[in-house]
Amino acid sequence: MDKYSLSVATREEKTPNQLRREGMVPGTIYGPQFDSVNLQFCAKEFSRLPAAAFSHLVDLNYEDGKKVSVIIRKVQRKATTGQVLNVEFYKIKLDRKLTVSVPIKLKGTAPAVVKGAQLMEVSLTADVECFPGDIPDFIEGDLSKLKEADDMIHFQDLNVDEEKIRILNPPEGVVARAMAPRVAAGAGAAASVASEEAAEDSHSEEGASEEAKEEAAAAS
């Protein structure tokens, strides 16, 4: 499991907007048996954290050498620009399990896709419960389970070490599925309609033929 770091400092006596204008972001650390602490950090440094850091341990490093291990619980952003306004960090205890969202990575080849089906990824992450040291970088899904169109991969099909990690999503929840191609579906529907219309025309012609025979018999 990778571990990431971020340089932080004790919050200055400034308003949040003042800090943001200076390129800093206000934040808070909280956790079990831990008094909440206000801090600040560089917005640019935070933006350089990879996406994986949002589901893994992050070491907050103070200037005096103090280090606090946390996970990123909540990031508040400005809706119009995406600017980070505030971040909440959760101080972890290494001997206590926690809940995090972990990326799902699909591997292998789906036979259904080889045959022409389309792969639809329904869930990109899984919620798991584990000790901080057991947080996986990702959870793997096996695409070879998708053998035919409409086959699905469920959360219960994901590959995890069940002794260390528990998936919290519903077991029957869908992670991915093989969808029949729309073009093929449309062509099939069109062919079905055409067949029905042809059958109706055939019945109409047979009805007209019978009527003509009856009229001829009556005239004679």
Q: pTM for the whole thing? A: 0.69
Q: What is the pLDDT of residue 27?
A: 97
Q: Domain spanning 98-179: which superfamily? A: Ribosomal protein L25, C-terminal domain (2.170.120.20)
For tokens 């528990």, what's the residue? Answer: 166
- What's the angle, vertex CA 122, arms to CA 119 and CA 126, rounded to 5? 125
Say whether pLDDT at 213 is over 70: no
Average pLDDT of 89-113?
A: 93
* Higher pLDDT among residues 121 and 1, named by residue: 121
- Mean pLDDT over 168-172 rounds to 97
Overall CATH class of domain 4-91: mainly beta
Residues 6+ apart with CB under 8 A from 126: 101, 102, 104, 139, 155, 158, 167, 168, 169, 175
In terms of Cα–Cα distance, which of 51, 157, 57 is closest to 103?
Answer: 51
47: pLDDT strictly greater than 50: yes
pLDDT at site 186: 52
What pLDDT, on a 0 to 100 scale, did the predictor assign at position 203? 47
Show me where the domains of the chain are located. 4-91, 98-179
pLDDT bucket at 188, cuts 50 / 70 / 90: low
> Does residue 175 register a pLDDT over 80?
yes
Residue 20 sits at φ, ψ, to 5 deg, of -65, -35
Burial of residue 90 (CB within 10 Å: 0-12, 13-18, 19+) is middle
Which pLDDT belongs to residue 197? 54
Q: What is the mean pLDDT of residues 31-50?
A: 93
Cα–Cα dist 54/105, whole Å = 16
Lowest mean pLDDT among 16-30, 82-96, 189-203: 189-203
R_g (Cα) of the chain, nearest Å: 30
